[in-house]
Structure formats: structure tokens, C-alpha cells
Amino acid sequence: MNISVRLAVASAVAAGLAATPAAAQVAVTVYGGYLGSSGLQNASTGTDADVKSAGAFMLALGADLDASREMQLQFSQQSTTLSPGGGADPFDLTVRYLHVGGTAFVDQPIGRGFYAVGGIGATFFSPGASGYGSETKPSANLGFGYYWPLTDRVALRAEARGFFTLVDSSGGFLCSGGCVAVIKGDLFSQYGAMLGLTARF
């Protein structure tokens, strides 16, 4: 993670914690889900570079801001495969997100019913093939969910989320010398459904 991204994430976390009431409850949520992807191309052929749909997990650490809003630090990861096209071999790709965000419940206090969810931060791309290099790009996520309380402290969450990464590359994305395929893209998008288990303290 480069210095500017670290500073941005640290500043956002510090600002949010400063605004959090001292007596706020905290929550830990573990998610599993499935994400599809779009937005990358083979720069030589102009055809889509396919990022395979695959499972993903996410961990969210939350703290109450007020009766209906919760701040979160969100980390998610997907291990997938990128097929560049143009005759180039597919290779493993790990996509990670680190976002600061939160939830806002709709006409309900925290802990019941529908809510909107989102976050901003960075995406980390880690290819598993020689000649390709890691990349860090700014990103955001948006979605909505539903919260089912099972007990006073444990609940299920079902969410639909979209993750949007500003790639802004006309060619050479992920390339670190010796790339067989030149990849480009403006906006890399991932979208899918996640199911989570929350514990509140």
C-alpha cells in the first residue's frame, strides 16, 4: 500500500472515530459472497479481458455513530482468474479492498430492517504470474441490505454490493515488464451478493 493511500485511510478512520460517541456499541461482521466483474480489455485486440466470477469474503468492523447510522472499516478479498484474451494464458488474480464507510438504516434504529451501505478507499490487485505487477487504485462500494436479528447481539445480514475501481489506463495495467497481454480499462466494476453474520458488543 503506498504512502498516500495509507494516509488517506488513516485520516478517514481517525475522523470517524473522533465523531463516534464514547458509549457506542461495536460490531464485527463476517461475510461470504459471490462477485462478477467487468471493465477490463485487451488493449491489442479491443476484446474484453475476462475476470472470472468467484467467491469472496469480507470482514467489517463497525461502531455506532447514532441511533440509525454505523461507521465501518471494511476489508474484502476475492481470488479469481483473469483471461486477457488475444491468445495470452489466463493467470491467477487476487483483488482486495480496504474501505472506510458505513450503514444507514431506513426508518429504523440500528439492528433491524433495510439499510444502505457504502465505503471509499483503495483496491489492491495482485497477479500471480511473472511479467505482471501489482497495482493500487482508488475505489468505492455502494449497496443495500437487510438485517435480521437472531438475538440481542447476533444477526444475519444479506447485502447486494457494487465495487467500483478507477483504473484509468489506456494500456499497461498490471504490466511490469514482459507482459504477454497489454490490459486497459477506465472503471473496473464488481457486483454481487453477500451474506454476513454480525456480533454486537
What are the tens digits of pLDDT across the range 65-107?
999 999 999 999 999 999 998 888 999 999 999 999 999 999 8
**Closest C-alpha to 74, from 25, 143, 19, 148:** 143
80 touches 115 (CB < 8 A):
no
Determine the Cα–Cα distance for residues 33 and 57; give it in Å rounded to an integer.
6
pTM of this prediction?
Answer: 0.86
Those residues of the chain that have pLDDT short of 70 are 1-24
Q: What is the pLDDT of residue 119?
A: 98
Domains defined along the chain, listed by start: 3-18+26-200 (2.40.160.20)
At 1 the pLDDT is 54
The candidate with the shortest Cα–Cα distance to 31, out of 200, 199, 195, is 195
Amino acid identity, position 56: A
> What was the pLDDT predicted at 58?
98
Torsion angles phi and psi, residue 84, rounded to 5: -70, -25
Catalogue the E-assigned strands of the chain: 26-42, 50-51, 54-64, 69-83, 91-105, 113-127, 135-149, 154-173, 183-200
